[in-house]
């Protein structure tokens, strides 16, 4: 059995994890803050440290860095109620073996602990301890924040943090409008090569000759209209990231040329016999089923496996409805800026409609609906009458995982479940819950009283 140090300023969480792992036969030591934890680690290093990230005084990231500096063989699991991409990247790139969101899912924590106990000496990546490779996402003109509080999005954040630490090729799969390019940009911004360019190529937007020229460049006279030599994006991006969107639409010839880049890091501009080398990191995305296209002979199997070194799937919006309120708030900030409006949010009736709608177009459709509504709305809050008719009148059952077949809850019941889910998701931290729900603390308190909500 293992010796485990549990660090959290919340007595209830410390005690719950202590009882759970003592029952499994582990030796448990607890600490209420980073200072106490460091004293324990220095006196007798445990097999694993489980630490909260937000604590009075020194936080969990600082504790992680100090443990990695003085005891690099001690694996650290980070847990937190702050479910943003930046925190996840900081924790995983800082050397945490795993990142578990609150409220704690015991099965997930058990899996993380098993992984930590299997941690082998010397497997720590270069740059442990005092390294400056723990990167924070740096927004630029081409970047957009990824918003999501659901477990599915937390998994995407964790994958972004992990794959950004290597130069491996990444394939991003997901429906149209789920933010595949945002994920690619986030990987680039969290990587060691974030200062190099990020460039995107839409493989479905150009005919084959123009696409080849766009990617690999061409020499003067290579084709009609080629009046001068042109550098392709794969050369211009240097050691940065080349994002290939809708990669399933590549022709067989272009698939062969892309495979050559992936296998030998070589390519030739159109009309040239010169062979050039590429240091670019390739990230591809598709909303098609590539395994089906491989089976049909429409996509090369060897290219598919070369692209799918690392695979990330972006979940559809209907599978993460908890993200609709924070996404709405985030998108309205951008819409206000672009349209010079001062929309403060949406009314509860309008939010009921947004939560009930299945969003076949995903986040892109949500943004489009909010933009139309912001144009039509004359007040400070988007109301239900300002929403498009198909959104306003949608009456189908919500696609909720815990829904019993045949039962269609009222919008009031959906609201009650959503508020309770957010409260439990934030461990009943009302400030965080208000931020996610986009409502004031007094209004949250009224909802809690109205629905008779209590902590689990």
Residue 444 has pLDDT above 90, yes or no: no
Say whether 357 sits in a helix, a strand or coil.
coil
Q: What is the pLDDT of residues 160-172, one digit of tens each?
A: 988 998 999 999 9
Q: What is the pLDDT of residues 401-425, one digit of tens each?
A: 433 334 445 566 667 777 887 787 7
Q: Which of 252, 281, 314 is the last residue of a domain?
A: 314
299 lies in the same domain as 341:
no
Q: How many CA atoms lie within 13 A of 320 on its CB side?
A: 20
156 lies in the same domain as 218:
yes
User: Would you state the pLDDT for residue 443?
Assistant: 81
Q: What is the pLDDT of residues 6-15, one digit of tens each?
A: 999 988 889 9
Output the domain CATH number for residue 209.
3.40.50.300
Q: What is the pLDDT of residues 12-61, one digit of tens each?
A: 889 999 999 999 999 999 999 999 999 999 999 999 999 998 888 888 89
237 lies in the same domain as 347:
no
Mean pLDDT of the chain: 84
> Does residue 68 sit within a domain?
yes
Output the domain CATH number for residue 355.
1.10.8.60
Which range is least confidently modeled, 87-91, 138-142, 367-371? 138-142
Closest CA to 356 of 304, 317, 382, 313: 317
Could you tell me which residues come within 8 angstroms of residue 79 by beta carbon, excluding any fewer than 6 positions away? Answer: 8, 50, 51, 52, 53, 99, 100, 101, 102, 104, 109
User: Would you state the pLDDT for residue 133?
Assistant: 30
Task: Answer whether 390's CB lies under 8 Å from 364's CB.
Answer: no
> Does residue 429 sit within a domain?
no
82 lies in the same domain as 169:
no
User: What residue numbers bound the domain in which 166 lies?
Assistant: 151-314
Could you tell me which residues come within 8 angstroms of residue 379 by beta carbon, excluding any fewer than 6 positions away? Answer: none
> Does residue 456 sit within a domain?
no
User: Would you state the pLDDT for residue 323?
Assistant: 87
Residue 121 confidence class, pLDDT cut points 50, 70, 90: very low
Burial class (CB in 10 A: 0-12, 13-18, 19+), 59: middle
User: Would you state the pLDDT for residue 143?
Assistant: 43
240 lies in the same domain as 382:
no
User: Would you state the pLDDT for residue 319?
Assistant: 87
Task: Answer whether 369's CB lies under 8 Å from 394's CB.
Answer: no
> Does residue 69 sit within a domain?
yes
User: Would you state the pLDDT for residue 311?
Assistant: 95
Residue 145 has pLDDT above 80, yes or no: no
Closest CA to 167 of 306, 284, 282, 286: 282
CA distance 284 to 169: 8
- Cα distance between the two ends of the chain: 31
What the block records as the tokens of 43 is: 């006196």
> Does residue 412 sit within a domain?
no
262 lies in the same domain as 155:
yes
Residues 437-452 have a mean pLDDT of 80
Closest CA to 456 of 422, 415, 427: 427
112 lies in the same domain as 162:
no
User: Would you state the pLDDT for residue 394?
Assistant: 64
CA distance 163 to 46: 28
- Indicate whether this model's pTM tops 0.85: no
Say whether 361 sits in a helix, a strand or coil.
coil
Output the domain CATH number for residue 97.
3.40.50.2300
Q: What is the pLDDT of residues 313-341, one digit of tens each?
A: 999 998 888 888 889 988 998 899 999 88
CA distance 83 to 148: 8
User: Would you state the pLDDT for residue 137?
Assistant: 35
CA distance 224 to 147: 46
Helices 441-451 and 411-425 meet at what angle, rounded to 10? 120
> Does residue 138 sit within a domain?
no
Which range is least confidently modeled, 116-130, 197-211, 374-388? 116-130
193 lies in the same domain as 253:
yes
46 lies in the same domain as 11:
yes
> Does residue 126 sit within a domain?
no
Residues 290-308 have a mean pLDDT of 95
For residue 231, the cross-strand partners are 217
Count of domains in the chain?
3
174 lies in the same domain as 214:
yes
100 lies in the same domain as 175:
no
Q: What is the residue-wise DSSP string for 376-407?
A: H--SSEE-GGGS-HHHHT--SPP--TTPPTT-
CA distance 360 to 287: 13
> Does residue 207 sit within a domain?
yes
CA distance 94 to 108: 20
300 lies in the same domain as 184:
yes
């Amino acid at each position: 059995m293992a010796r485990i140090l549990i660090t959290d300023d919340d007595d209830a969480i410390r005690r719950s994890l202590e009882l759970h792992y003592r029952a499994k036969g582990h030796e448990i030591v607890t600490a209420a803050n980073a200072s106490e934890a460091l004293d324990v680690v220095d006196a007798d290093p445990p097999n694993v440290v489980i630490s909260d990230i937000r604590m009075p005084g020194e936080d969990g990231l600082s504790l992680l860095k100090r443990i990695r500096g003085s005891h690099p063989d001690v694996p650290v699991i980070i847990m937190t109620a702050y479910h943003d991409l930046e925190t996840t990247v900081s924790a995983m790139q800082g050397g945490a073996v795993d990142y578990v969101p609150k409220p704690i899912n015991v099965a997930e924590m058990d899996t993380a602990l098993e992984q930590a106990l299997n941690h082998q000496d010397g497997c720590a990546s270069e740059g442990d301890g005092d390294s400056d490779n723990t990167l924070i996402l740096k927004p630029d003109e081409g970047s957009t924040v990824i918003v999501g509080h659901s477990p599915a999005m937390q998994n995407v954040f964790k994958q972004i943090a992990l794959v950004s630490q290597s130069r491996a090729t990444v394939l991003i799969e997901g429906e149209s409008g789920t933010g595949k390019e945002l994920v690619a940009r986030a990987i680039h911004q969290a990587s060691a090569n974030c200062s190099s360019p990020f460039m995107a190529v839409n493989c479905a937007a150009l005919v084959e000759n123009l696409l080849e020229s766009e990617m690999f460049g061409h020499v003067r006279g290579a084709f009609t209209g080629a009046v001068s030599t042109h550098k392709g994006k794969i050369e211009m991006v240097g050691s940065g990231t080349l994002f290939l969107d809708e990669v399933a639409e590549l022709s067989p010839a272009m698939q062969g040329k892309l495979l050559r880049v992936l296998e030998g890091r070589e390519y030739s501009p159109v009309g040239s016999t010169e062979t050039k080398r590429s240091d670019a990191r390739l990230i591809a995305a598709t909303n098609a089923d590539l395994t089906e296209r491989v089976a049909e002979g429409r996509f090369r199997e060897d290219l598919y496996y070369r692209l799918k070194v690392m695979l990330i799937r972006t979940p559809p919006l209907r599978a993460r409805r908890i993200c609709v309120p924070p996404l709405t708030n985030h998108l309205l900030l951008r819409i206000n800026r672009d349209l010079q409006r001062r929309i403060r949010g949406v009314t509860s009736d309008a939010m009921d409609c947004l939560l009930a709608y299945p969003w076949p177009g995903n986040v892109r459709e949500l943004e489009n609906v909010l933009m139309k509504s912001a144009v039509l709305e004359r007040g400070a809050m988007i109301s239900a009458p300002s929403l498009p008719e198909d959104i306003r009148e949608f009456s189908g059952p919500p696609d909720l995982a815990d829904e019993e077949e045949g039962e269609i809850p009222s919008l009031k019941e959906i609201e009650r479940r959503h508020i309770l889910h957010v409260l439990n998701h934030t461990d009943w931290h009302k400030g965080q819950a208000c931020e996610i729900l986009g409502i004031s603390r007094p209004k949250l308190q009224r909802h809690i009283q109205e629905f008779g909500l209590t902590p689990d």
